[in-house]
């Protein structure tokens, strides 16, 4: 389980970097239009905040303190800074998950994020799906708004 999680999170976070780098105009990373209310930059901040909190802080005791409100309110952070934050998130996940005892994936995650108990295994699958959901949005955003 540990190796699979590390590989999948790293693969998809690197894909997020590729999407950021594929923008022709860096300003478009922060663009919104019509019913698209979250820019790619906002989604990147949300994803790294989410993963640094739920994997880094909760599982790995990194001391990271999440500011979810800022994930959705900050703007115009340079692409290079966003990439740096993603790379830092990859490192946090790699270290945290590699140190996690394999047998503990069947134990309950310490937070009831959805209002009921769930295992680490279940929540890690949720976090991976959440990453992919927003990665798809980023891809669509880039193709639609980076003309």
Inter-residue contact 123 to 109 (CB < 8 Å): yes
Residue 123 has pLDDT above 90, yes or no: yes
Cβ atoms of 13 and 86 within 8 Å: the answer is yes
pLDDT at 3 over 90: yes
pLDDT digits (tens, 9 = 90+) for 13-38: 999 999 999 999 999 999 999 999 99
Query: Domain 2-145: which topology?
Result: 1.20.120
pTM above 0.95, yes or no: yes
Tokens of 124: 């890690």
Q: Answer whether 125's CB lies under 8 Å from 5's CB.
A: no
Q: Which residues of 32-58 are buried (b: 16+ CB within 10 A; e: fewer)?
A: eeeeeebbbbbbbbbbbbbbbbbbbbb
Q: How far is CA 35 from CA 23, 39, 108, in A?
A: 20, 11, 38
DSSP 33: B
Using one digit for the tens of pLDDT, what is the confidence trace for 67-112?
999 999 999 999 999 999 999 999 999 999 999 999 999 999 999 9
Statement: residue 147 has pLDDT above 90? no
Task: Specify the pLDDT at position 94.
Answer: 98
> What mean pLDDT do residues 103-130 have?
97
């Amino acid at each position: 389980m540990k190796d699979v999680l590390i590989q999948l999170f790293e693969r998809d976070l690197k894909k997020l970097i590729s999407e950021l780098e594929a923008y022709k105009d860096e300003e478009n990373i922060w663009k919104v239009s019509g019913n698209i209310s979250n820019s790619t930059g906002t989604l990147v901040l949300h994803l790294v905040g989410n993963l640094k909190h739920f994997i880094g802080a909760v599982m790995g005791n990194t001391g990271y303190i999440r500011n979810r409100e800022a994930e959705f309110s900050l703007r115009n952070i340079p692409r290079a800074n966003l990439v740096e934050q993603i790379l830092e998130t990859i490192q946090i996940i790699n270290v945290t998950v590699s140190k996690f005892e394999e047998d503990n994936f069947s134990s309950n995650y310490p937070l009831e994020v959805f209002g009921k108990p769930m295992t680490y295994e279940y929540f890690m699958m949720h976090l991976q799906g959440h990453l992919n959901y927003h990665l798809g949005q980023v891809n669509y955003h880039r193709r639609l708004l980076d003309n």
